[in-house]
């Protein structure tokens, strides 16, 4: 398999994640789609790291995973706070900034 095949899979998964972010109205599923986009980027990093036999890509994936864990914790806490205010996580209900 060449590096291009992995990049195609990565871009397909990234586009699917972007599609999910735009299509779904459930905040938790939108958040999971963001995680999917992060993972697609990770796949591209690992493919390039293998292609160039370089440590930077693998290190980047490691740090992205750590930051993603931190980000998931804070994001889910925000979703819980949102649910406490409105008793729903449907994003159509959160229109405070809509004019």
Q: Which residues would be at the binding site for other proteins (CB under 8 A)?
A: 1-9, 11-20, 22-26, 28-29, 31-33, 35-36, 39, 42-43, 46-47, 49-51, 53-55, 58-59, 61-63, 65-74, 76-81, 83-84, 87-90, 93
| Start-to-end C-alpha separation, the chain | 50
Name the residue nearer to other proteins (CB basis): 84 or 98.
84
Cβ 24 to other proteins, closest distance in Å? 7
Distance CA 85, CA 87 (A): 6
Cβ 96 to other proteins, closest distance in Å? 17
Cβ 18 to other proteins, closest distance in Å? 5
Torsion of CA 11, 15, 16, 18, to 10 degrees: 140
Cβ 55 to other proteins, closest distance in Å? 5
């Amino acid at each position: 398999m060449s590096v291009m095949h992995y990049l195609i899979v990565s871009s397909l998964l990234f586009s699917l994640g972007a599609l999910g972010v735009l299509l779904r109205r459930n905040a938790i599923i939108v958040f999971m789609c963001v995680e999917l986009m992060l993972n697609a980027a990770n796949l591209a990093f690992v493919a390039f790291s293998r292609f160039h036999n370089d440590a930077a890509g693998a290190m980047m994936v490691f740090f992205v995973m750590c930051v993603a864990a931190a980000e998931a914790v804070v994001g889910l806490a925000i979703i819980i706070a949102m649910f406490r205010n409105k008793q729903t996580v449907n994003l159509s209900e959160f229109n405070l900034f809509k004019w």
